[in-house]
Amino acid sequence: MTDLIDEDADLRSNLAALGPAALKELQDVLAGPQPKLDDFLGRLVARPELEPLATLVALADTDSVARLRLLRAIRDLGV
C-alpha cells in the first residue's frame, strides 16, 4: 500500500498552536464578509509577531484555493 502524503499536516500543526478561540475567530473571519476580514488583517498587521499569520490570511484573501485549504485545516482541527 502506498503512503499518502498529507500536504496540510504542517498547516494544521501551526494552526493548532493558536488555540480553539483564535481558530474559531479566524474561521469566522475567513467565512464572513470582507469588512470583517479587513478589520482582522489590520489588527494582525499591528502585531509584528503575527506577521506569518497575517501573510497567510492575506494569501487566503486573494486565492480561493488557499482560503479553502485554510478553512479545511481549521475544520480538521475540530473547530
Confidence band for 65, pLDDT divided at 50, 70 and 90: very high
Instruction: Give per-residue pLDDT as tens, 41-64.
Output: 888 888 888 888 888 888 998 999
Round to whole Å and give the CA distance between 40 and 23: 13
Confidence (pLDDT) at 72: 94
Judged by phi (left if over 0) then psi (alpha if -120 to 50, else beta), residue 32 lies in beta
Confidence (pLDDT) at 77: 93
* Amino acid type, 74: I
Round to whole Å and give the CA distance between 35 and 20: 23
- The CA R_g of the chain, rounded to the nearest whole Å, is 13
Confidence band for 3, pLDDT divided at 50, 70 and 90: low
- Of 3-7, 12-16, 30-34, 70-74, give the lowest mean pLDDT range: 3-7
